[in-house]
Structures are given as structure tokens and as C-alpha cells.
Amino acid sequence: DAGVTQSPTHLIKTRGQQVTLRCSPKSGHDTVSWYQQALGQGPQFIFQYYEEEERQRGNFPDRFSGHQFPNYSSELNVNALLLGDSALYLCASSLGGWDIQYFGAGTRLSVL
Amino acid sequence: AQKVTQAQTEISVVEKEDVTLDCVYETRDTTYYLFWYKQPPSGELVFLIRRNSFDEQNEISGRYSWNFQKSTSSFNFTITASQVVDSAVYFCALSEASSGYALNFGKGTSLLVTP
């Protein structure tokens, strides 16, 4: 039984570029949440998707957007990258928003 | 305002010592969940435990135990007879009904267990 998988593992971009990160949830899960973890900090909630709709959103600008597909996989898009967007981006899946969230290994994004 | 406080930034112990990681939370919800996750150097957050706000029973799982006290808004985590493999960053997190159960993490405690 595959857990949560994220791609790519690492990514290097330059300021102003756009990036797309991908996540496949654990089998049987229908809800995907995204978190940003800066170096030395705890993860910060970006948003959560359920039934292809954004259900909850944290305190992140509109440059951060997402999508959930009918197979429950999800994408995180970040436009107009800033140096401060450099972080580990973690995807978590659950069965419903209230259930235990299981995390993938993350995508490490470096913005130069 | 920080809803989850992990006052210990770094802890270093020698193998076989017991260690307690502190977590204090703040919420106005009556329905909420508390979590502990472990993050080894590989980066993946590993789920350890979830407790709901209506269940204050302490829990033991092998060398791990958790003490939930609503009176002091604390959810502390104890590792008995620590091992080198326990070295990781440990995060306490809160999810509240009022925020759609999004996880609100503390800043983490880095635990180093040396032989």
C-alpha cells in the first residue's frame, strides 16, 4: 500500500518563475492538505482540498493556488516566486479533513 | 499568536536516558485534537499519536508515553530508555473544529540521542 507520494523531490527556480508541485494521496484518502516548512520552523498550513474544491486556506497570498483532480491527487502552484518561498513543501492526505493526516517526504524548493 | 508552544528548542541526552518533550497549547474550541509527529533527517513527518479533547487518558506505546492534561493545556511526550534512532525533530500540533481541522504546529524540539 503506497503512502503519500510527492514529486519532484528537489527543485531549483529563480525569482519570478512559476512552479508546480504534485502529490498523490494514500490509497483510500480523499482529502489533501499542503504545508510549507521553512528551515528550522514547524510546517505552516497553506490550504486543503476536498472533492476538488479548496475547503480551508491558511494565511498565504493568492500567488499560492492549487487543484485537486478526480483521482484525489493534487497540485500546488506558486507564481512569481520570491526568495522567501524557499522551503520544504509537504503534502498530507486524510480520509476527510478531521482524520489523521499522513505526510509525504516533501519537495524541497530553492529559489535563487 | 502561537497556538502551540514547544519551549524546548533542543535536547541532548545519552542513550538509555528518559526524556520528556513539553507541549502547551491554546484554544477556545471544546472539540479539538492534539498530535505528535516525528521528523527524521529525511524530512518526512511520521505520525505518532492523536488524542481528542474529550479523552484525557494517558497512553503508552512501547517506550513512548503521552500525558494529556486539559487543566494545564499540556500534552507532553516521554521517551523511556532513549535510543540513537530516536534522534529527530518532534512536533506537537493542534487541530480545531473552528479552523476545519487544519494542523497548527509548534516550532518543534530537536532531540539528539548520543551513544
Question: How does pLDDT run across B3-55, given as a tens digit for each residue?
Answer: 999 999 999 999 999 999 999 999 999 999 999 999 998 889 999 999 999 98
- The answer to whether B102 contacts A92, with C-beta atoms less than 8 Å apart, is no
Gyration radius of chain B's alpha carbons: 14
Name the band, by pLDDT with cuts 50, 70 and 90, for residue A104: very high
- For the segment A11-63, what is each residue's pLDDT rounded down to a tens digit? 999 999 999 999 999 999 999 999 999 999 999 999 999 999 999 999 999 99
Sequence-distant (≥ 6) Cβ neighbours of residue B38 within 8 angstroms: B45, B46, B48, B88, B89, B90, B91
- For the segment B63-92, what is each residue's pLDDT rounded down to a tens digit? 999 999 999 999 999 999 999 999 999 999
Residue A1 has pLDDT above 70, yes or no: no
Q: How far apart are CA A7 and CA A23, in angstroms?
A: 7
Measured between beta carbons, the chain A residues lying within 8 angstroms of B46 are 103
Fill in the amino acid letter for B30: T
Q: Which of residues 39-58 of A touch B (CB under 8 A)?
A: 40-45, 48, 55-56, 58
Q: Cell match 474529550: residue?
A: B54
DSSP state of A37: E
